[in-house]
Amino acid sequence: MTDDTPTASENPYENPQVVDDPPIRRWPLFPPVWVWVLFAFFVVLVGLVRVREVSGDRAIVNILTLILSFLACNVLGLWFLFLSGYSRSLRWKTIAAFTGALICFFSAFKIDHVTGELVPVFRCRWQPPRDAQLEQPDVASNSPAIDLQTTTDQDFPQFLGPHRDGQLDGPLLETDWQTHPPQELWRQPIGAGWSSFAAVNGFAVTIEQRGEEEIVSCYRVATGELVWAHSETTRHSTVMGGVGPRSTPTIHEGKVYTLGATGNLLCLDGSDGEIVWQDNVLTRYGVTPEEDIKSVAWGRAGSPLIVDDLLVVPSGGPANGKKVSLAAFNKDTGELVWEAGDRQVSYSSPVLADLLGKRQIVLVNENNVSAHAPTTGEELWQHAWPGASNTEASVANPQIVGENRVLLSKHYGKGAVVLELVTDTAGVVGTKEVWAEKVVLKTKFTNVIVHDGHAYALSDGILECVDVESGKRRWKRGRYGQGQVLRVGELILVQAESGEVAMVALSPSKFTELSKFQAIEGQTWNNLCLYGDLLLVRNAEEAACYRLATRSPVDAMPEGPAPEANPPE
């Protein structure tokens, strides 16, 4: 008989085995050390990038800061979403709320423009651009004609002043604006654009954008009264470059010459703003505004140059077609006289120079600098100066620093170079580099002042002094942003990007800021205009005029021993 009773070892009720449940993984509610270490790593990188300015470009520093900050936030975000101990419901609700907030923000706001260092400025999507909110200029039909034919010693008739070099020998200005504050004569809204004022015989002309109208406007310097305006229906607008015209009018023998952002070339009667003749460099050379913006992304910026009986402007052409560097027109009739060069335009303006004993028009093009005979346009010499007018743009004018030397400067990793012109036995003019330094005179939107063997400029937003002979930095101080500079006697007036105007001593020995005041509000890339003791300032939002206190020569500060130089940064 078989015993089917289970043995003790087989009896499930005897010696029961304790079987543990699988361990429950406890996810932390607070990030572990390795997450904080990784987060801190990116934060430290942000600090190093900003303190060391590793790229040498504040705009690139801001881009790197954004990328590294995004990565740092992602470390915490990814931990929260996938590795934290919070409930799945809470995690996904948090992500949904964050995503929804971003969608709501960008549904309500858009990037209106960026600063010179690529910091975005937002505006409501349903709000029209500020310039479109302005009324069109209203000039009385019976307004009397004005006189732009009479000239005075105080005139500031073109881009960068009488000599197109950003320099004035006077007046002798008071240096203490606390004791002698600038007197505001008027302040008023103005259309968009980066054009500056040109002033002759008590009247100032600029170009501005109001809605779809690009307007050449003439104001009375002392009061801000609009005396005439001429409109053309066209509009240039980009997020990176802003809205409106860039170039500055030229006033000559009673006429006003302008080049608009979309190529409108105008000769106006200075008495009433009526057209004498007009052309369009885009139309003439077979380019539409839509095509041009792909090659010349930030609009036509070259200010017209008068040479004898000619009006000379940069011209360019289609991206894949024939290009003309310069075009010269009869200034009275608008008839084309000559064309020269085969390069795309930059954002620089041509200058008239005397080099090697010859008068010549010197121009920075998109990717070279060239010189041309004023009467025929014949190319006299050229030198490669790399750049692209839709990325690494050239803006600064060439500066003449001797009878056979030219100073070039730009940002985007190029810096500055001094060229020396040399003539071979056959009489052909060539160039050689005297020095080239990538870390000095990084002029992004601005120009260089050269005085007594030293160059002064806003180098990526910081005022800098450089020895022209050697290329060595003397000092670099004062962060003013992407603004502008103007020499007045032994002083430098600095138009800061913030709208402030500062006064700095013109000295290679040491940086000394003497005074400053808030002239206008808002982002300011426009150049200054000084008509006698009247300072005209503007940006894309407002314009103002200030009377600056002056001193007689006997009140001038006595010369003293040269102070110690600031150590170079």
Residue 97 tokens read as 């709320």
Inform me whether the pLDDT recorded for 569 exceeds 70.
Answer: no
The span from the CA of 38 to the CA of 86, in Å, is 21
The span from the CA of 365 to the CA of 88, in Å, is 60
The span from the CA of 64 to the CA of 444, in Å, is 19
Answer yes or no: are the C-beta atoms of 278 and 324 closer than 8 Å. Answer: no
Inform me whether the pLDDT recorded for 319 exceeds 60.
Answer: yes
Helix (H, G, I), strand (E, B) or coil at 327: strand
Bigger pLDDT: 12 vs 373? 373
The span from the CA of 476 to the CA of 241, in Å, is 27
pLDDT at 81: 86
Inform me whether the pLDDT recorded for 564 exceeds 50.
Answer: no
Inform me whether the pLDDT recorded for 541 exceeds 50.
Answer: yes
pLDDT at 15: 55
Inform me whether the pLDDT recorded for 23 exceeds 90.
Answer: no
Q: What is the DSSP letter of 150?
A: S
Q: What is the mean pLDDT of residues 363-375?
A: 97
Of 74, 106, 124, which closes a domain?
124
How many C-alpha atoms does 468 have within 13 Å on its Cβ side?
A: 20
Answer yes or no: are the C-beta atoms of 267 and 276 closer than 8 Å. Answer: yes
pLDDT band at residue 63 using 50, 70 and 90 as cut-offs: confident
Question: Per the domain annotation, does 77 fall within a domain?
Answer: yes
Question: Per the domain annotation, does 140 fall within a domain?
Answer: no
Inform me whether the pLDDT recorded for 392 exceeds 50.
Answer: yes
Answer yes or no: are the C-beta atoms of 418 and 385 closer than 8 Å. Answer: no
Q: Are residues 101 and 190 in the same domain?
A: no
Burial class (CB in 10 A: 0-12, 13-18, 19+), 116: buried
Inform me whether the pLDDT recorded for 515 exceeds 70.
Answer: yes
Q: What is the pLDDT of residues 297-318, one digit of tens each?
A: 999 999 999 999 999 999 999 9
Question: Per the domain annotation, does 44 fall within a domain?
Answer: yes
pLDDT at 443: 96
Burial class (CB in 10 A: 0-12, 13-18, 19+), 17: exposed
Residue 523 tokens read as 């982002």
Bigger pLDDT: 251 vs 241? 251
Q: Are residues 260 and 191 in the same domain?
A: yes
Q: Are residues 452 and 412 in the same domain?
A: yes
Inform me whether the pLDDT recorded for 19 exceeds 70.
Answer: no
* Angle at CA of residue 423, ends 422 and 428, nearest 5°: 125
Question: Per the domain annotation, does 208 fall within a domain?
Answer: yes
Helix (H, G, I), strand (E, B) or coil at 395: coil
Question: Per the domain annotation, does 425 fall within a domain?
Answer: yes
| Number of domains composing the chain | 2
Measured torsion, CA atoms of residues 394, 399, 402, 403, in degrees rounded to the nearest 10: 80
Question: Per the domain annotation, does 566 fall within a domain?
Answer: no
pLDDT band at residue 242 using 50, 70 and 90 as cut-offs: very high
Q: Are residues 303 and 187 in the same domain?
A: yes
pLDDT at 3: 55
Task: Residue count of the chain, please give it.
Answer: 569
pLDDT at 53: 67
How many C-alpha atoms does 347 have within 13 Å on its Cβ side?
A: 30
The span from the CA of 472 to the CA of 62, in Å, is 27
Residue with tokens 């102070």: 563
Of 105, 124, 143, which closes a domain?
124
Q: What is the pLDDT of residues 77-115, one digit of tens each?
A: 899 888 888 888 898 899 899 899 999 998 888 888 888
**What phi and psi, each to the nearest 5 degrees, are found at residue 396?**
-70, 140
The span from the CA of 147 to the CA of 218, in Å, is 12
pLDDT at 555: 45
pLDDT at 117: 83
Helix (H, G, I), strand (E, B) or coil at 353: strand
Bigger pLDDT: 203 vs 29? 203
Residue 430 sits in a domain whose CATH number is 2.130.10.10
Nearest-CA neighbor of 215 among 132, 294, 102?
A: 132
Q: Are residues 75 and 167 in the same domain?
A: no
pLDDT at 557: 40
Q: Are residues 89 and 207 in the same domain?
A: no
Pick left, alpha or beta for residue 181 (phi over 0 → left; psi -120 to 50 → alpha; otherwise beta): beta
Question: Per the domain annotation, does 377 fall within a domain?
Answer: yes
Question: Per the domain annotation, does 146 fall within a domain?
Answer: no
Bigger pLDDT: 51 vs 463? 463
Q: What is the pLDDT of residues 114-171, one digit of tens each?
A: 888 888 888 888 888 889 999 998 887 777 889 999 999 999 999 999 999 999 999 9
pLDDT at 329: 99
Least confidently predicted of 327-331, 374-378, 536-540, 564-568: 564-568
Q: What is the mean pLDDT of residues 354-362?
A: 97
Question: Inter-axis angle of helices 58-78 and 33-52, to 10 degrees?
Answer: 170
pLDDT at 240: 85
pLDDT at 120: 85
Q: Are residues 118 and 165 in the same domain?
A: no
pLDDT band at residue 256 using 50, 70 and 90 as cut-offs: very high
Domain limits for position 103: 33-124
Measured torsion, CA atoms of residues 121, 57, 349, 165, in degrees rounded to the nearest 10: 110
Inform me whether the pLDDT recorded for 12 exceeds 60.
Answer: no
Q: Are residues 97 and 243 in the same domain?
A: no
Q: Are residues 195 and 75 in the same domain?
A: no
Inform me whether the pLDDT recorded for 357 exceeds 80.
Answer: yes
pLDDT at 250: 99
Q: How far is CA 466 from CA 141, 451, 484, 486, 507, in A?
A: 52, 11, 17, 16, 11
By percentage, how much of the chain surpasses pLDDT 70? 91
Mean pLDDT, all residues of the chain: 91
